[in-house]
Amino acid sequence: MEHFSDMIKFVKSRASKHLLSFLSSRTHCLLSRITTELYLADEDSSPNLERSITVAEVEPLVKDFGSRWKTAIELMHKDIITCFSNFLCGMDILIAGMTQLLLYYTRLEDCIKKIDGGSALNRDIVNYQSIMFEIKKYKKTF
């Protein structure tokens, strides 16, 4: 959240709702009800559920991620090393955090694939294998 809060907030609110529209109607109905109930509990964070996602809305998120993801992973690693004296426990936490980041990014990528004109962002999207390679480098540290 510290490094990619805008992307995480977008995926939690807008992208999740957008992807729901591609599920079966029964699953969609159930998940929509759950999602709506969660948003109603905190109306300030309630997204505009009716507005469709545009390329202009996700482009800054994709470009920001593409320009900073390696540096952010390094910073996460440094934070973990300094905060945890037990390196094995720290590495487990780091890998879990990086995995969660990868999941959020994958959900953003899935959302982009479903947007009209989303293919224009293909040149800016970071390859899944590149992120996995970096995560594996840190996994082998200890």
Q: Model confidence over 46-63: pLDDT tens digits?
A: 444 446 888 889 999 999
Rounded distance, CA 85 to CA 93, Å? 12
Residue 33 has pLDDT above 70, yes or no: no
pLDDT of residue 39: 47
Question: Considering the chain, what is the average pLDDT of its residues?
Answer: 78
- Contact (CB, 8 A) for 37 and 56: no
Q: What share of the chain in percent tops pLDDT 90?
A: 30
Rounded distance, CA 135 to CA 105, Å? 14
Rounded distance, CA 5 to CA 17, Å? 18
24 pLDDT band (50/70/90 cuts)?
A: very low
Domain boundaries, the chain: 5-139
Residue 52's SS3 state is coil
Q: Is the pTM of this model over 0.85?
A: no
Burial of 6: CB neighbours in 10 Å, binned 0-12, 13-18, 19+: exposed
Higher pLDDT, 16 or 71: 71
